Structure 1
């Protein structure tokens, strides 16, 4: 099944339950999670899994695609916000929060995932760059910050916290605050190196 084919309401519910169950199962067990366990967790038959996704790689790609597409939709929705600085912070908060709740970043290295993400990733990156440009135009973000800087910083709060044993679940918010303060123009010093290309 293609990722963008319209689904009946019941099929869409099954697909959503399946993606949520698979995401949780992969987060707990890694890529060795079985389709049988995923189906059981979702409360559907194993055959239903394979009707939606012919292989485990297809399922993994759908999970990652779903997360990227959701973040892209959020970023696009924030482009009309009255306060561009708060809109960028809201997006970064949501991106870090979603990762903290269910870290699926390791799935991006699974076979066949990256080539299926080109369209969704491009939409996400375009929207993030637009959020950054609006925040810069409003004076909320320093002028030498590029969209790619924010793209690279999105996962940083959770990456930092991953090195702290038994970290408080909300510790990532401290580092997001430090990162966002670093994006502000107040007290900014020249950066030592240019931003990488998109």
Structure 2
């Protein structure tokens, strides 16, 4: 006997789910993944039981949020793939991904930690990896970056650039742009422009990661 068709969610359930995901996304972005389900429910203005009806575990909720962010980056990459300048497209994508890491404290914690093996996260990661590789391959084919750079190189560089600027995030929130330019100039085949922004303040000592 054929399986019964999956019933679509009612419109009010869809609205509640979106309200919940938005509230959780804001809470996790601001405070990291230690935020409790009770705090999220209160922020969303719904009962704790409603949270678990939509997301049986906290990991499922975290996975829903991080996949939303990943698909945002996938859409960004797909749009940039149509840009005339492949070097600008790759750099703009790296910038968007690093900014997301800065604005969302939970993104890296979830994507590479507690929900890394969640099937929805793995599916989104595969799509994101493909977009990064496509942008990288296009830049390689046009001779604007080194021929031995891979999409995985770019993915690791984006994380490294975020980590490099993060110790001074509170006092110099745009310092990461300096290191993105430094890294990207090192990748380019053409002569590089000057680094943007001021250097780190000499009176500030960075803490180890």
State the TM-score, normalizing by the size of structure 2.
0.77
Aligned to 2:39: 37
Alignment equivalent of 1:106, drawn from 103, 106, 109: 109
| CA gap 1:174/1:12 in 2 versus in 1, 3 angstroms | farther
1:125 pairs with 2:125: no
1:177 pairs with 2:204: no
1:96-144 deviation line (CA, Å, top 9, x unaligned): 111111122122311x542422221111111111101111112221212
Shift of 1:11: 3.7
Q: Distance in 2 between matches of 1:100 and 1:165?
A: 8
Q: Distance in 1 between matches of 2:73 and 2:99?
A: 11
Q: Does the aligned pair in 2 maintain the 1:18–1:42 contact within 8 Å? A: yes
Q: Does the aligned pair in 2 maintain the 1:143–1:185 contact within 8 Å? A: no
1:4-83 correspondence runs (5 A): 7=9, 10-83=12-85
Q: Distance in 1 between matches of 2:26 and 2:78?
A: 27
Structure 1: runs of 5 or more not aligned:
189-198
Q: Distance in 2 between matches of 1:148 and 1:67?
A: 19
Mean Cα displacement is larger for which, 17-26 or 132-141? 17-26
Shift of 1:73: 2.0
Q: Which has the greater radius of gyration?
A: 2
Give the total of aligned pairs.
183
Shift of 1:47: 2.8
Structure 2: runs of 5 or more not aligned:
1-6, 193-209
Task: Report the secondary structure of 1:63's partner residue.
Answer: helix
Mean Cα displacement is larger for which, 150-159 or 22-31? 22-31
Q: Which has the higher contact order (CA 8 A, sep 6+)?
A: 1
> Pairwise CA RMSD of aligned residues?
2.3
Shift of 1:147: 1.4
